[in-house]
Amino acid sequence: MTPVRLDRVGKSYGSAAPVVHDIDVTIESGEFFTLLGPSGCGKSTTLRMIAGFVTPSTGRILFGERDITTTPSNKRGTGMVFQNYALFPHYDVAGNVAYGLVTRKVPKSERARRVAAALTAVGLDGYADRRIDQLSGGQQQRVALARALVISPSVLLLDEPLSNLDAKLREETRVQIRRAQQEAGITSVYVTHDQAEAMAMSDRIAVLEAGKLHQVGTPRDVYHRPATAFVATFIGGSNVLDAEVVEITGDRAVVELTSSGAKLSTGGADGAKPGDRVAVSVRPEHFALTDPGEGAFDAVVRDVEFTGATCQFELRADGLELSVAVPDRPGLPRPGDGVGLRPDAEHAWLVQP
């Protein structure tokens, strides 16, 4: 439907450091796009700039060809689901869902039909006359979704809509949101701090930290090919080792670890050149434990945690703290033992430190 373009968008308050810094990204038509990051990273501010509640200090926002940077929020035609749902307590369920249709001067008969259809779509048939405070959290969430979708918005904005639900309901609802979005084919921007949620739902993810955009990519991209050390650790967790590039072959590199001087082969070397100070990300499950002296470098086991399918090792190697996860089996090393560590060359990835 409508692509959304953020053209070097920034926001700062007074002379303080910018809350959002030069975000440049295009959200494709019909795409489910997630802004992911820890709290205070600027993801909500970015969403609120798209909604029109916050005016960017720099840059432009475009819906398709239309520059809406300074368009009042009520004239943008977006649908938004708020974190606390923001349902009007003085209207019943139908009144809430109809609100956007009334402002759009949709005739009464059509309004009733569309409200009923929207409530059916979210599984709330027969709830039209309920007061908001008679609904459970999950039901309120679905009313909020119906209210945002019934106006056929050009862009759907979702601000942590699942954070107030319990774990089980969260998983059900995220399937429901995803389905509704795909059926309507609406360009959607979703804000969350939960990386699992982002991975499960998104077509693409933008990872933000301290107002800066670290990486935009598919869930697989950001997981397997993180651009920065922050992305690698924030998504899925990873060991990030400081290193220097020694040699480049195509998109692969040989690097020398700062800590031990050991040489590793990594992927993700596009644009790097010998002598660059970089970092290597190796996820806990991409290390193999060997006997001392047989891996790329040696380490000492400090702690072992049994978590079911795997055993989680905390190790110390040349002043570094590392995590390694291996399938549980008899005869694994114990705290105090020396081991060797061999990273899986296929999954070692060069990132910006």
Partner 1 sequence: MSAPAVAPKARRRLPASDGDRFVYVLALPVVAVLLFLVVIPMATTAVTSAGGNGFAENYGSLFGGRSGEALLLSLVSSLLSVLFCGVIGTLLAVLLHRFDFPGCRALTVFAVLPMALPPLIGAVSFVLLYSETGIVPRSLSALLGIDPSTTSVGGLAGVVLVHALTMYPYFYLSVSAALAGMDGSLEEAATNLGANRVRVWRTVLLPMLTPALVSGALLTFMMSMASFTAPQLYNVQTLTMEIVSARTSGNPALAATQSTALSVVSIAFLLCMRWYQGRRVHRSLSKGTPSARRAPSSAAAKAAAAVGSLVLTVVLLAPVLVIVLVSFSVDGAWTTQVLPSDYTVDNYLRIFADPANLLPISVSVQTSVLATGFAIVVGAAAAWVVARWRGTGRGLLDVVIMLPWALPGTVIGVNLVTAFNEPGAGNLGLTLVGTLWILPVAYFVRFVPLVFRSTSASLEQLDPSLEEAARNLGAGPLRVLRTVTLPLVLRGVLAGALLAFVDGVGEYVASVVIYPPGLPPMSVEIYNRIYTSEFGTAAAYGAMQIVLILVVLAVSNRLGQGPRQKQPAAAALPAA
Say how many residues make up the chain.
353
Binding to partner 1 in span 5-24, by CB under 8 A: 19
- Binding part of the chain for partner 1, among 61-69, 82-90, 205-213, 242-250 by CB under 8 A, reads 82-90
CA 208 to chain centre: 8
Q: Closer to partner 1 by CB, 75 or 273: give it.
A: 75
Is 77 near partner 1 (CB under 8 A)?
yes
CA distances for 53 relative to 34, 44, 47, 182, 229, angstroms: 19, 11, 9, 26, 32
Secondary structure E strands in 133-274: 155-159, 187-192, 204-209, 212-217, 239-249, 252-257, 263-266
Nearer to partner 1, 152 or 260 (CB): 152
* Bridge partners for 241 per DSSP: 280
To the nearest whole angstrom, how small is the minimum distance from the Cβ of residue 88 to partner 1? 6
Segment 53 to 72, residues that bind partner 1, using CB under 8 A: 53-55, 72
Q: Among 26, 66, 67, 104, which residue sits at the site for partner 1 (rule: CB under 8 A)?
A: 104
158 lines the binding site for partner 1 (CB under 8 A): no
Residues 140, 87 contacting (CB under 8 angstroms): yes
Task: Determine which residue in the list 26, 29, 67, 74 makes contact with partner 1, applying CB under 8 A.
Answer: 74
- Using CB under 8 A as the binding rule, whether residue 271 contacts partner 1 is answered as no
Q: Does residue 162 interact with partner 1 by CB under 8 A?
A: no
Strand ranges (DSSP E) for 106-166? 155-159
Q: Could you give the C-alpha distances from 83 to 80, 86, 163, 192, in angstroms and in order?
A: 10, 8, 7, 10
**Is 267 near partner 1 (CB under 8 A)?**
no
Task: List interacting residues with partner 1 (CB under 8 A).
Answer: 19, 44-45, 48, 51-55, 72-80, 82-84, 86-90, 99-100, 103-104, 133, 147, 151, 157
